[in-house]
Chains A and B, each alone.
Chain A
Amino acid sequence: DIVMTQTPLSSPVTLGQSASISCRSSQSLVHSDGNTYLSWLQQRPGQPPRPLIYMISKRFSGVPDRFSGSGAGRDFTLEISRVEAEDVGVYYCMQATQNPTFGQGTKVEIK
């Protein structure tokens, strides 16, 4: 199984500032079809996970452009710019290049 490792596990952020979350996979996430199936999900308290980003950097419909994804191969990053109160929650990376696995989660909270 592919192991996904996120850092940091907690990220206190000042409103209006940026947050950055890293995700590293135990092996390359490049699929045999040439795509990289790395997604980011947000889970607000008491809610189901909500997909934000797919294939490294593509935003799902309705996701603010404050959220951006980048990376390649084994190393990926989610950036949240101009953090708002509604961004509080836990963020997970997820790979679907093989049977899906998730990172441990990064808790974003307001300082």
Chain B
Amino acid sequence: EVQLVESGGGLVQPGGSLRLSCAASGFTLSSYWMTWVRQAPGKGPEWVANIRQDGGERRYVDAVKGRFIISRDNAKSSLYLQMNSLRVEDTAVYYCARGLTADSWGQGTLVTVSS
């Protein structure tokens, strides 16, 4: 069974940083692109970033370019999202998802950016 478990969320002040992790199990992480999606309170999902199997290609939504970095460690079956220069509008539940088509999702981790 595919399982994705996010962690690392919390309350942070504007301008601060957080690093999210996603532990993958039930499939071979190195065989898949991986994706981060976020959902602000009361809003629909928004794609944030994705990363190729070998980490050699990374794509970001314009709103996070230059501030967020997606990475992966296939040996540890883990996906990461380093979030810097956080803004109030980054407040959301962050989900990791498998593949470019997001065919499996984790339960999410809540990031709150507030002073």
Q: How far is the CB of A12 from chain B (nearest CB, A)?
A: 20
A100, B101: Cα distance in complex, Å? 8
Q: Are B44 and A103 in contact (CB under 8 A)?
A: yes
Does A105 sit within 8 A of B, measured CB to CB?
A: yes
Q: How far is the CB of A25 from chain B (nearest CB, A)?
A: 15
Does A67 sit within 8 A of B, measured CB to CB?
A: no
Does A83 sit within 8 A of B, measured CB to CB?
A: no
Question: Which of under 10, 10 to 19, 20 to 34, or 35 or more describes the interface residues of A?
Answer: 20 to 34
Interface string of A25-52 (1 = CB under 8 A from B): 0000000000001010100000011110
List residues of B whose CB falls within 8 A of some A CB.
Answer: 35, 37, 39, 44-47, 50, 59, 61, 93, 95, 100-108
List residues of A whose CB falls within 8 A of some B CB.
Answer: 37, 39, 41, 48-51, 54, 60, 90, 92, 94, 96, 99-105
